[in-house]
A and B are shown apart, each in its own frame.
Chain A
Amino acid sequence: MAKELKVVGKSIPIRGSEELVTGKAKFVDDMPAELHVNVLGSPHPHAIIKNIDTSKAEKLEGVEAILTYKDVPKRLMPRANQRALYVLDEHLRHVGDEVAAVAARTRAIAEKALELIKVEYEVLPAVFDPEEAAKEDAPKIYPEGNVYGPQYGELVEKGINAPTLLEWGDIEKGFAEADVIVEDKFKAGSQVHSALEPYACVASWQGDELTLWACTQTPTEVRKGVAYALGIPESKVRVVSQWVGGGFGGKYTNRIQPITALLSRMVGGKVTKYVMTREEALVQAKRFMATIYVKIGAKKDGTLTAIYFKAYADLGGYGNFCGITAFWGGYPCCSYNCRNARWEGWDVHTNHFTSQPYRSVQLPGSNFATEQVFDAIAEKLGTSPTEIRLKNMAESGDMSPPEPWVANTPAYPRAILESYPSRTIMRQVMEKIDWSRWKGWGKPIAVSGSKRRGLGIVYSGYDGGFAFDGYRSQAVSLNPDGSVSILSSSQSAGQSPWTTQCQLVAESMGIAYEDVNIFAGDTNTGQWDLFGMRGSSSLTTGGHLLLMAVEKVKQEVRLLAAPKLGVKPEEVEVYGKKAYVKGNEQKAIPIPELLTQVICASATGPPGSDFPESTPGHKVRNAMVQAAEVEVDTETGEVKVIKLVTGNCPGRMINPGIVKNQYIGGAVQALGYALQEEFNYDEEKKAYLHASYANLKVPRAKDIPDVIENVIVEEYTERSPHEGTPYGAIGVGELGHWAGPSVMATAIYNAIGVRLKTIPMKPERILEAIKGWGGK
């Protein structure tokens, strides 16, 4: 019988908040250092270093070490899913690409030294648009071509120029069966992650052992990459990454870590720090900029017959976790029960800085494109946005995708959906936004002078939180007093899996939350996570493995207690700091009387394994709806968000406060992408003009909607806690963030009757779109 939950479901304040609110939490930049690093960036978007002379810089008093590509010839820095990256390289692929690094006694001296480094460049032609860069005659950023094909591995330097593909059914047949077909082209701009904490790294050596304090979402990958690049065993590298000041997909493995470690080694292990300025930090990583083509066909009754999606995504000069455009493009495909679909992703290198996933990869871009075409189909058919979605959306119990798929990119198992109450979410969102006010396509619900109000509603599915059981491990120790220590590979950058993981263990062991402690953010816990803090998976996959470890510990206790209780081990329950006979709590031995030793166990999945389906043939997935009411000022082009309603299913909420904050925080970030944040490169000046917070325009308190409400529909299947998702929880971290551009575009369309096809939908684009506009 299911026990009443005592800790799961409670909005416990996040762990570490007292350290954070008193300034005691030590972020990487808070570490003192003996030496400071500055890096010389390329002034050209594409160039080869013909000659580099560091002799003058070396003589500057206070300079202790200088690193150029000559010191690390063709030294690889392995990372997941990307082109071979050298620690430093004479081939420079974007403005700011690392040319040389200096370690000096002060930052000012290091900066002065950079000015004394003389470099001769051979400037090469550059390309910035991914679709242009994919053409045969485009400047070659890599000799074999600019398209990153699906066959690349982390150390593979060559490959064919091919797209990633996901498909099922027969789209030709699907379009032939359609009564209505709409196709269109969209441009998704980039978005810079811009976590408030800049990229930072501190390295120190004790003999042949390296300690690296790094703010990263992937400490295990950093350890692996740095050990490989420096030619030392992974056992000699300790990566500490305890407090991370925001990530959002922006803080993966990068050159900053091996460069700092090498400079420190060159000067006998002195504590060496590299902290980027904000200007540098805003040109390190960004979301995939993309050109997207969508074609959708439907029958007269609104039934979808075919979806075709093709995107050219900008990887930048290197890319980090890339080659997956069909994958992010494919998320919307599994959202609808359409029997014929093809998703074609061209991942293309350009001469911009690195692209990498950003909170749901680039679903905001793919959803922006597909939902607008879907709306156009509905308008042609004379149906409403809600009717056509309710008719076609997948729901719990449906097979997803509807036909077997063929893919050359990561694809989740085809299975029956669980925890996917899409229609319930949609109806509740409609109620919260008062959808009955909708007056028809392109028709405002209110007009006041130049201001027109419109309603929009969008939907998608997403695989957040269910990846790679075999890519990480978690451990627990049951102490003789009955308390539990967690050794976790999970990190916290605001989403606080440390809190929720302690809640899971407290609940499962039947002990107080205060009796559980967690040690994390340090590779020396012995736990590892090759996937990292990505994909909304810290609580779900991390929690699942944690509860598997708890189950192993319980099993040890059962074996110890069974003979003393005079029953078989399977008849023993371990709960509430005691072992007792199932059904007879009085027949019990307190843990302190049973244990003289600590019982420790860790859990992982088989190598490379996916998260287990919740039961054979079933899987959980995220169903999401968002609606907005906007006010567009047709004189200024400004869009004010009057009300935003997010709609999600978190399975079961482990910590409702955290869940809600994730949805709201993610949604506001996505509104920034939709309306105001713009990555901005000036080809003539060879400079990124967005590289300050003042220019990037991330949302501030005055920019947020007047009202944000959340529809949260809990739906889960009761199982043992260690089977399937932990207590039925599914991912939340990315799941408020997917809809900003699509929900804004649909609401803006209904306010002014014009479709915006470029993200961000900033005022000048809106004014351009309504030029010569007569109003509907």
Chain B
Amino acid sequence: MKAIVGGKVVRLTVNSRGYEVEVCPNETLLDVLREKLGLTGAKNGCGVGDCGACTVLVDGKPMSSCLLLAIDCEGKDILTIEGLANPKTGELHPIQKAFIENGGIQCGFCTPGMVLTAKALLDNNPSPTKEEITEAINGHICRCTGYISIFKSISAAAESMKRGGG
């Protein structure tokens, strides 16, 4: 059996790098990222868009990559967790630092998705209220933290970014 039936070449920009990748019509963006590009930071937590673990930013918007067909991402600008830190120095993004410093991580399986959703939120709303943070992350399941330390992490990141940390 051929690995790809009816494959089509799709051009994607992932973490500021251009890719041409042959995909099946039914292949999700999550599968392409994880299996063809080796970017396993986005996790497959449920496969049906319930948990948020596969979240990546598509043209700046948080999307469940398990629900997106890769062929529909032609020409899109995609950011995964692997592309968030400074590519030259490796310095972590202020949101990543805030999650580490504020105990926003326990097992870490939800973390990549949660951090990217926080980035989309703070890029559009530098001073979110607790309600706005709650609304933003309500599509993500974290079974470990009880969310309190995640609120704290995102609030701390907002402060840090306003001070120029971002």
Using CB atoms and an 8 Å cutoff, list the residues of chain A in contact with chain B.
11, 13-14, 16-27, 29-30, 32, 61-62, 105-106, 109, 194-198, 243-246, 248, 275, 277-278, 493-496, 657-658, 660-661, 664-669, 692-694, 698-702, 704, 708
Contact = CB atoms under 8 A, between A and B. Distances in A.
A275 B115 CA distance: 24
Contact of A17 (B35, B42, B105): B105
B96 interface: yes
Contact of B105 (A11, A20, A109): A20
A506 to B, nearest CB: 19
A32 B34 CA distance: 9
Interface of B: 1, 3, 34-35, 39-48, 50-51, 53, 80-82, 84-85, 92, 96, 99-101, 103, 105-112, 115, 133-135, 137-151
Kindly name the residue among B39, B96, B139 whose own CB sees the greatest number of chain A CB atoms within 10 A. B96
A668 B47 contact: no
Nearest to B31: A107
Given A661-B106, A704-B146, 4 more contacts: A13-B103, A19-B108, A693-B51, A693-B141
Contacts of B45: 196-198, 278
B113 to A, nearest CB: 10
Contacts of B137: 701
* Prevailing SS type, chain A contact patch: loop
Contact of A244 (B44, B107, B139, B143): B107
B148 A664 contact: yes
A18 B92 contact: yes
Contacts of B81: 21-23
A665 B100 contact: no
B46 A693 contact: yes
Nearest to A661: B103
A62 B82 contact: no
Contacts of B53: 196
Which of A14, A275, A494: most chain B Cβ within 10 A? A494
14 contacts: A17-B100, A21-B108, A22-B85, A22-B92, A22-B96, A29-B40, A195-B143, A196-B142, A197-B45, A494-B106, A495-B106, A661-B106, A698-B141, A699-B146
A494 B44 contact: no
A664 B149 contact: yes
Contacts of A244: 107
A21 B107 CA distance: 11
Nearest to A667: B146
B47 A245 contact: no
A664 B46 CA distance: 25
A26 B82 CA distance: 13
Given A29-B43, A494-B107, A664-B146, A23 B101 contact: no
A415 B133 CA distance: 48
Given A13-B100, A22-B41, A665-B146, A246 B109 contact: yes
B109 A27 contact: yes
Contacts of A664: 145-146, 148-149
B1 A61 contact: yes
Nearest to A245: B109
B146 to A, nearest CB: 3
B50 to A, nearest CB: 4
